[in-house]
Chain A
Amino acid sequence: MTASIAAPHPQTWIEIRPQGLFCVPGGFYVDPVRPVDRAVITHGHADHARAGHGAVAATPETLAIMTARYGAEPEQSRQAVRYGESLKIGDVTVSLHPAGHVLGSAQACLEYKGARIVVSGDYKRRADPTCAAFEPVPCDVFVTEATFGLPVFRHPDDRAEIAKLLDSVALFPERCHVIGAYALGKAQRLIALLRQAGWQRPIYIHGALQALCDLYRDHGVELGELLPATAGQKGVARDEFKGEIVLALPSAIADRWGRRLPDPVVCMASGWMRVRQRARQRGVELPLIISDHADWDELLDTFDDVGAPEIWITHGSEEALMHAASARGYKARALALVGYEEEGQ
């Protein structure tokens, strides 16, 4: 452990500002929700990686995702930091470590005068064929999300969820299975899981997923044959989708785009699908409980794994997680950061 008597407690050098979490001696923010001069970005999801910052440090994969999303941003200075490498910003040493959330996702470890805080961004602990696995980093303060910070959220084995999908495809050969999935991470993970489960047919993808699938491939993630699901006459169901699997943004399925699908079985891949009322509200016929966030057990296990005596909670269901962390002897604090969205919205 790094904390010594002289080490300044992170609460003396980390501030919560409207822009987000600010590291005073380094003069930078982590995942700021508004444009700032200097930012460290944990991963490419739009609510964590916003456009318009002056200087950005992130993993090379996250920088590539930001370029795919926002263009080159020529005004911006960018610093690529590989997993395990470190960088000095002001008096602070910043290193990035895999978070297991999506391609390039990282935990930012900030070290100042012997004290260490890890800002984990979004993370999960399950194996994911499309990104590097979470690595626990010992620290004095662990900053965690709490997206699934209620004990009802315990994600099942993703292979069983994929098996459920493939059973349904076999049972309804005349219908098309369309899966609503977030464009970054979830879509590629689903494709990879389907390939692992032996699904060899082409997978059709909505146009909005194309660029990120290409990017994943460029980074060596095998996705097999992908075909565009956007062609065809507007509003007319396309017979060639019968018996096939189509991936799209959830918003596209519910909208007019979805009318091209023949008698679709609407599936949705998200940790929220664990709760029936939520799945039903969204008109989902086949919920797939597959999440890129830690579930309740993983959140609590992670606290044990990083060994931090103190837990700060950024976004999600802070209340229940604080209660449970305190009961396990951790000092827990809710940061009440705003501006981060639920997964898959």
Chain B
Amino acid sequence: MKPFAELLDRLIYTPSRNAKLALLVAYFRSAPDPDRGWALAALTGGLGFKGVKAGAVRELAMRRVDPVLFGWSYDYVGDLAETTALIWPQRPTNRDWPSLTEVVERLHAAKRAEAADVVEEWLDPLDATGRWALLKLITGGLRVGVSARLAKVAMADYGGVDPAEIEELWHGLEPPYEELFAWLDGRAERPDLEDRPIFRPPMLAHPLEEGEAQALDLTQFRAEWKWDGIRVQIAARGGEVRLYSRTGDDIGATFPDILDHVTFQGVLDGELLVVAGGEVRPFNELQQRLNRKTVSAPMLKKYPAFVRLYDILFDGEEDLRELPFDDRRQRLESFFAREAPQRMDVSDLVSFEGADDLETLRVSARGTATEGLMLKRGDAPYVAGRPKGLWYKWKRGPLTVDAVLMYAQRGHGKRSSYYSDYTFGTWRQNPDSGAGELVPVGKAYFGFTDEELKQLDKWVRDHTVKRFGPVREVSHGLVLEVAFDSVHRSTRHKSGVAMRFPRISRIRWDKPAGEADRLDALERMIE
């Protein structure tokens, strides 16, 4: 438990991806089996304990701590597990720290009523960091800034293999991943996972910048719409079906309306959308169904899911990934005709004559449920990752708004001495007083050059009116042109709108703040 606790304690403060990887690799190198495998499971969200809830942590604390002191401490610390870990009055014990494996095995075996007693016994030998890690682990809220993807990349670094290999195997393996570590350590063969509906890492596209389309030999490319949903993979193998996100997360549990209709065997690539009455609905509606643990019947009815197919990786047992795109496309069409799957269709190819024609199509995409065009080479095999020169995404032009800088926050890592995260607002009339006021509409931390960052940082320091920890409020004097992909309604923001992918496209040093855009301008761009 000690190395794992120390790892979590470091990760939670480490902003840089490379530093996180170094910490993870160092841990995998030094921790024994099966501890490191359980750690990997915890970091990738694959470890749960039913018996212990947040409420149980408070109860544990109350067994030993003066409730008045606990109350004041909790107010100060702001986190229940952390407060309990810090305040815990240790009793002398001759127990040692439990290993991570012991924690996992005993809690998995414990009955609901026993769990709290088991945990209490561990809290005495542990130190404050150990207690914190234990309580975070068992209440299922690690939140140390490591995605499942990052943990897998760390495994790849550890074993000196391509991350795609880890991804390819991942969903066929189970904690504590001893087969995987044995292979990465060179002690065993690569695990054999045929006959399992594992995630196959998808092929991704490079963005095509303005003007680049002219330089491509367009006769070699096929065009498709880039639908505005989320990229998914349906894997049906050996009688099991899975729905994976682009990063390999199994999101099938909340999409029975897709999976229950799968009768075929194979692996397909497509876009998950909400389609109602034959029409693709805005991304915002799909958002209602994402990141949930369960799905209700009214949800299923109100936001019916649908998959628009782009590609086929396996037809039954047959791996098609080496075939050129044009051949796979034919195989996809014949597969679809043969299997006639429900709640799916095949994304159309878009015919075009030359670059100008494409440009017209791309610009016309605004107002539809697409984000632009995809260009795919007819002779390209299906290659995991983002290979050069084969697939391009050509997004429709971004929307822009002129907004006023309101707050700036210090960045992380290399940027920690700069105010590099900017919250900006647009004007509106205060609904009560009728006076003009700025209301925050978004936050951006990229889009500018290093030189511009220095200028922005200086401007922030020179125009600070208030400081709150790492945040500075600035006087309303700087206009930023903000580019974004789309804007939708949001009840979580005071302004009632939220942008997708906002970035600073230009600093309008010349423009008076009073001439920045009004909130209505953004509201008109809602699709």
Q: A residues near B, CB below 8 A?
A: 150-154, 156, 164, 168, 171-172, 175, 253-256, 258-259, 263-266, 274-277, 279-287, 317, 319-320, 323-324, 327
- By CB atoms of chain A within 10 A, which of B22, B128, B416 has the most? B416
Confirm or deny: B62 has a beta carbon within 8 angstroms of a beta carbon on chain A. Answer: no
Q: B residues near A, CB below 8 A?
A: 6, 10, 12-15, 19, 22-23, 26, 65-66, 68-69, 72-73, 76-79, 82-83, 86-87, 127-128, 410, 412-414, 416-417, 469-470
Contacts of B79 in A (CB 8 A): 276-277
Q: Is the CB of B87 within 8 A of A259?
A: no
A324 to B13, CA, bound (A): 32
Name the residue of chain A whose CB is nearest to the CB of B78: A277
Contacts of A282 in B (CB 8 A): 469-470
Contacts of B14 in A (CB 8 A): 285
Contacts of A154 in B (CB 8 A): 86, 128
Complex A-B: 26 CB contacts under 8 Å: A150-B69, A150-B72, A151-B73, A151-B86, A152-B73, A152-B86, A154-B86, A164-B6, A168-B10, A254-B417, A258-B416, A258-B417, A259-B417, A266-B416, A275-B77, A276-B13, A276-B82, A277-B79, A280-B12, A280-B13, A283-B410, A283-B470, A285-B13, A317-B72, A320-B72, A323-B69
Contacts of B72 in A (CB 8 A): 150, 317, 319-320
Partner of B23 from the list A171, A254, A287, A327 (CB cut-off 8 Å) is: A171
Q: Is the CB of A286 within 8 A of B417?
A: no
A256 to B72, CA, bound (A): 37
**Shortest beta-carbon distance, A138 to chain B, in Å?**
28
A266 to B412, CA, bound (A): 10
A263 to B412, CA, bound (A): 11
Q: Give the 3 A-B residue pairs with the shortest CB-CB distance, closest first.
A: A152-B86, A281-B469, A258-B417
Contacts of B73 in A (CB 8 A): 150-152, 320
Contacts of B6 in A (CB 8 A): 164
Name the residue of chain B whose CB is nearest to the CB of A257: B417
A275 to B12, CA, bound (A): 12
Q: Is the CB of B22 within 8 A of A172?
A: yes
A71 to B13, CA, bound (A): 41
**Shortest beta-carbon distance, B270 to chain A, in Å?**
40
A128 to B478, CA, bound (A): 50
Name the residue of chain A whose CB is nearest to the CB of B418: A259
A259 to B225, CA, bound (A): 46
A136 to B23, CA, bound (A): 44
Q: Is the CB of B82 within 8 A of A283?
A: no
Partner of B13 from the list A153, A171, A264, A284 (CB cut-off 8 Å) is: A284
User: Do A283 and B68 contact each other (CB < 8 Å), given the known contacts A152-B87, A156-B127, A171-B23?
Assistant: no
User: Do A152 and B77 contact each other (CB < 8 Å), given the known contacts A254-B417, A274-B86, A275-B82?
Assistant: yes
Contacts of A171 in B (CB 8 A): 22-23, 26
Q: Is the CB of A276 within 8 A of B12?
A: yes
A320 to B26, CA, bound (A): 41
**Shortest beta-carbon distance, A57 to chain B, in Å?**
37
9 new A-B contacts, CB < 8 A, other than A150-B76, A275-B82, are A150-B69, A151-B73, A151-B87, A152-B73, A152-B86, A154-B128, A171-B22, A276-B13, A280-B12
A175 to B23, CA, bound (A): 14
Contacts of A327 in B (CB 8 A): 66
**Shortest beta-carbon distance, A50 to chain B, in Å?**
25
Contacts of A280 in B (CB 8 A): 12-13
A274 to B87, CA, bound (A): 11
Q: Is the CB of A283 within 8 A of B76?
A: no
**Shortest beta-carbon distance, B69 to chain A, in Å?**
5
- By CB atoms of chain A within 10 A, which of B10, B13, B72, B82 has the most? B13
Partner of B414 from the list A253, A263, A281, A323 (CB cut-off 8 Å) is: A263
A258 to B12, CA, bound (A): 22
User: Do A254 and B22 contact each other (CB < 8 Å), given the known contacts A151-B69, A156-B127, A286-B10?
Assistant: no
A6 to B15, CA, bound (A): 64
A157 to B73, CA, bound (A): 22
**Shortest beta-carbon distance, B108 to chain A, in Å?**
28
Partner of A281 from the list B12, B23, B417, B470 (CB cut-off 8 Å) is: B470
A156 to B85, CA, bound (A): 13
Contacts of A254 in B (CB 8 A): 410, 416-417
**Shortest beta-carbon distance, A183 to chain B, in Å?**
20
A324 to B23, CA, bound (A): 40
Contacts of A324 in B (CB 8 A): 66, 69
Name the residue of chain B whose CB is nearest to the CB of A153: B86
- By CB atoms of chain B within 10 A, which of A152, A253, A266, A324 has the most? A152
Contacts of B10 in A (CB 8 A): 168, 286
Contacts of A259 in B (CB 8 A): 417
Contacts of B68 in A (CB 8 A): 323
Name the residue of chain A whose CB is nearest to the CB of B412: A283
A131 to B416, CA, bound (A): 34
Contacts of A156 in B (CB 8 A): 127-128
Q: Is the CB of B83 within 8 A of A256?
A: no
Q: Is the CB of A285 within 8 A of B86?
A: no
- By CB atoms of chain A within 10 A, which of B26, B76, B127 has the most? B76
**Shortest beta-carbon distance, B416 to chain A, in Å?**
5
Contacts of A153 in B (CB 8 A): 86
Name the residue of chain A whose CB is nearest to the CB of B454: A235
User: Do A172 and B19 contact each other (CB < 8 Å), given the known contacts A156-B127, A254-B417, A256-B417?
Assistant: yes
Contacts of B414 in A (CB 8 A): 263
Contacts of B78 in A (CB 8 A): 277
**Shortest beta-carbon distance, A164 to chain B, in Å?**
8
A153 to B85, CA, bound (A): 11
A103 to B78, CA, bound (A): 35
A324 to B72, CA, bound (A): 12
Contacts of B76 in A (CB 8 A): 150, 152, 275
A274 to B10, CA, bound (A): 13
Contacts of A164 in B (CB 8 A): 6
Contacts of A255 in B (CB 8 A): 417
A6 to B145, CA, bound (A): 65
Contacts of B469 in A (CB 8 A): 281-282
Contacts of A319 in B (CB 8 A): 72
A253 to B73, CA, bound (A): 30
- By CB atoms of chain B within 10 A, which of A150, A259, A283, A319 has the most? A283
A175 to B416, CA, bound (A): 15
Name the residue of chain B whose CB is nearest to the CB of A324: B69
Contacts of A317 in B (CB 8 A): 72
**Shortest beta-carbon distance, B412 to chain A, in Å?**
7
Contacts of B69 in A (CB 8 A): 150-151, 320, 323-324
**Shortest beta-carbon distance, B80 to chain A, in Å?**
12
Partner of A277 from the list B23, B66, B77, B87 (CB cut-off 8 Å) is: B77
Contacts of A152 in B (CB 8 A): 73, 76-77, 83, 86-87
Contacts of A175 in B (CB 8 A): 19
Q: Is the CB of A151 within 8 A of B65?
A: yes
Contacts of B23 in A (CB 8 A): 171
A263 to B86, CA, bound (A): 31
